[in-house]
Amino acid sequence: MAPLKAAAAWIYVPASRPDRLASAAASGAGRIVIDLEDTVEPWKKRAAAEALRDLELPELPVYLRVNAPGTEWHEGDLAVAAAMDLAGILLPRADSREAILQATRPLRAHQRVVPIVETAAGVLNVLEVARAPRVERLALGALDLQLDAGMQEGAAGIVVARGQLVLASRAAEIEPPLDAVTLSIDPAAVGPAAVLARRDGFGGKLCIHPQQVEPVRRAFAPDLADIEWAEAVLAAAAERRAGDHQPFLFRGALVDRPVLARAQRIAIQRGDVNAA
């Protein structure tokens, strides 16, 4: 699968409110997630899903959050996703590799899966979930995880789960995970939560309102010193002989594969911020 440009802010749009797609696309978010799960009432889900087949999508990569495996709407949601020009799906309650395999079977070959880890079983199986075929990255469903495990906000188990997602993503060599939504749309709450997510190793954050997008993008944007360092490292690497992948010294420090990868990631993040 060809990689997509990095994006820090992913914004949800209820499937029953397609009129909000335009404001989501104009918000500066890098991805749009049309939601058939939590934001759509049960009696509206089937009609909302079918109406999506004829929906004109914005140019941004668009994903569909389907209803969870085992629900009466799950298979129908996957059929709708396969009929649409989507980048992929967000899969709730992604507890196992088998859940990923079953969800991908109806999809088009290019469509990716973003498993939402939101149960105790999902956390304990997170590495096998991360290594499943066609997984682009993981997402944390903190509120559902708290409910499933009987934990309160800030509990040690939530902190452990956050670390598990980040480490499993690295071990599986997929993109860093997405942090869970912040319920408040106040930038004074969203911004610090996004800064914490970046510090913890997350690659972006799920948003529920356009006002959340800019604080998230700012939090994940590299600072000027990081950009200057990354551009200089990449320039030095480019000057080396083609095929020379050996570590080298730069400004008195060793540049090996992980350091070069960090420089490349910063350059990608800068491109995302400038483009949005």
Q: Based on the number of CB atoms within 10 Å of its own CB, is 249 exposed (0-12), middle (13-18) or buried (19 or more)?
A: exposed
pLDDT at position 258 is 80
Give the tens place of pLDDT for each residue, 40-81. 999 999 999 999 998 999 999 999 999 999 999 999 999 999
pLDDT at position 274 is 46
More confident residue, 65 or 276: 65
pTM of this prediction? 0.86
Q: Is residue 169 part of a domain?
A: yes
* 92 lies in the same domain as 168: yes
Checking if the pLDDT of 190 tops 80, the result is yes
Q: Is residue 2 part of a domain?
A: no
Give the tens place of pLDDT for each residue, 91-136. 999 999 999 999 999 999 999 999 999 999 999 999 999 999 999 9
More confident residue, 244 or 34: 34
What DSSP string describes 210-249?
HHHHHHHHHHHSPPHHHHHHHHHHHHHHHTSPTT--S-EE
Domain hosting residue 242, numbered range: 224-275
pLDDT at position 1 is 46
pLDDT at position 275 is 42
Percent of the chain scored above 70 by pLDDT? 94
Domain limit, last residue, from 178, 196, 220: 220
* 178 lies in the same domain as 251: no
Checking if the pLDDT of 276 tops 50, the result is no
Q: Is residue 268 part of a domain?
A: yes
What DSSP string describes 73-102?
THHHHHHHHHHS--SEEEETT--SHHHHHH
Checking if the pLDDT of 273 tops 90, the result is no
Q: Is residue 91 part of a domain?
A: yes
Model confidence at 228, pLDDT cuts 50, 70, 90, reads confident
